[in-house]
Amino acid sequence: MTITKLDWQRYTPPINCLNSKTILVTGAADGIGKAVTIALAEHGATVLMLDKKARHLEKLYDQVVQRGCKEPIILPVDLMDVTPESATAVAQSIYNDLGQVDGLLHNAADLGSPSPLDQYDMKYWQSVMQTNLNAPYFLTRALLPLLKQEHETHVVFTSADVGREALAYWGAYAIAYAGLESQMTIWAEELENTSNIKVNSLDPGPVRTSFRRRSHPGESQKSLVPPQAITPAYIQLFHGGLNFHGKKLAL
C-alpha cells in the first residue's frame, strides 16, 4: 500500500482562501473536528457542523461567530441514527438553504472496545461499523449531487493507521477503517472521469484529543501535537490545487 505524506508544515493558507465555500464536517463538536471547523471558518468557509452533541455545537457556534467568521450551520445528527433516507433528508435541507456543498470531511469516529475478535461485544461492533463505515457512505451518496460542481470539490475520509495495516485486538475499529479505505478508493475511481470531485483519505496520526486518550490510555499526551496545529493540512486539502485524488494521505 502506498501512503502519500502530505507536505503541509510549510504551507501557509492564504487569508479567505475558502471564501464562498461550504464545507460539512462530521464530528465537529470536539477534537480535530472542532479545531478544523474553526480553522475553515477563519479562512472564509461556511461550515456545516454535524455532531450528536447539540450543546457542544451551540458553544462552538458562539466561538466561531465571536471570531468574526461567517455563521456556521448546526446539524445535530447522531450518526448511529443515519439511514439512506435520513441522509437524503439532510442533503435536501442543505440544498434548500445553500444549493451546494464544496467539501465534506468525514471526521466522526467510534472507537468501540478493543478486544479479541472472538470476544468482541456485538453492540460495539454494530455502533463502530455504523459510525465509521456505513454513515460516511450514506452521507457521501446523498450529498453527491450537491458536490458535483463546475469547480473542484473535495471529500476527505479520516482514516487510521490500523485501518491501513491491521493489528490484533483493534477489532471493529480497524476493520471499519479498512473498509473505509476501500470505499474511498472506489468513490475516487468511479468519480474520476465523471465529476470534479477529488476524493482522498487522511490519517492525521497521533493528536492530543480525548479520543486519543481513550485509544492509547498509557500514552503521554504532552508529546502529542494539539489538533489546532494540524489544521493547515485540512485547509490545504479543501483549498485545492494539490491535484490529489484517490490518495491515502498521512501527516
Residues in a beta bridge with 153: 197
173 is catalytic: yes
Contact 244, 4 (CB under 8 A): yes
Work out the angle between the directed axes of helices 54-66 and 31-42 (0-180°, nearest 10).
30
Q: 47 is written with which cell numbers?
A: 461550515
- Please state, in angstroms and rounded to a whole number, the distance separating the CA atoms of residues 171 and 149: 38
- Please state, in angstroms and rounded to a whole number, the distance separating the CA atoms of residues 26 and 49: 7
Instruction: Check 120, 124, 137, 173 and give the catalytic one.
Output: 173
- Please state, in angstroms and rounded to a whole number, the distance separating the CA atoms of residues 245 and 228: 25
Residues in a beta bridge with 158: 202
- Please state, in angstroms and rounded to a whole number, the distance separating the CA atoms of residues 102 and 125: 32
So which residues are the catalytic ones? Answer: 173
